[in-house]
């Protein structure tokens, strides 16, 4: 990506940019994005899936310790999980929107 972008910049500054060079170098520059986004998406999905499985594996036995003749442990687990999710959202949320100029 760096090579393609740098070559496009250099040719544009030199005034030697032709359609053939532009198409070829834009392809080189953008091909790198495809490699990154596909791998990043797959890695992100794997991390999310593993995290969900791990949390389920930890939560299920804890809820089971509360007994099987009442729904209270399940509802308590749901309340704790929802409260933690809300707290995580509140801690990571911006207090004011970011303006287009970055302020």
User: Could you tell me the residue ranges of all domains in the chain?
Assistant: 2-92
Q: Per residue in 29-73, pLDDT tens? A: 898 888 888 889 989 999 999 999 999 999 999 999 988 888 999
Angstrom distance (rounded) from CA 77 to CA 64? 10
pTM above 0.85, yes or no: no
Sort residue 17 into left (φ over 0), alpha (ψ -120 to 50) or beta: beta
**What would the two tokens of residue 90 be?**
């509140």
């Amino acid at each position: 990506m760096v090579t393609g972008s740098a070559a496009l910049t250099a040719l544009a500054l030199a005034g030697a940019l032709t359609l053939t060079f532009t198409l070829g170098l834009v392809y080189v520059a953008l091909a790198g994005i495809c490699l990154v986004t596909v791998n990043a998406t797959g890695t992100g999905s794997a991390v999310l899936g593993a995290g969900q499985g791990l949390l389920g594996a930890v939560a299920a036995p804890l809820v089971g310790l509360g007994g099987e003749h009442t729904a209270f442990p399940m509802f308590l687990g749901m309340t704790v999980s929802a409260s933690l999710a809300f707290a995580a959202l509140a801690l990571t949320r911006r207090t004011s929107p970011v303006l287009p100029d970055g302020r």
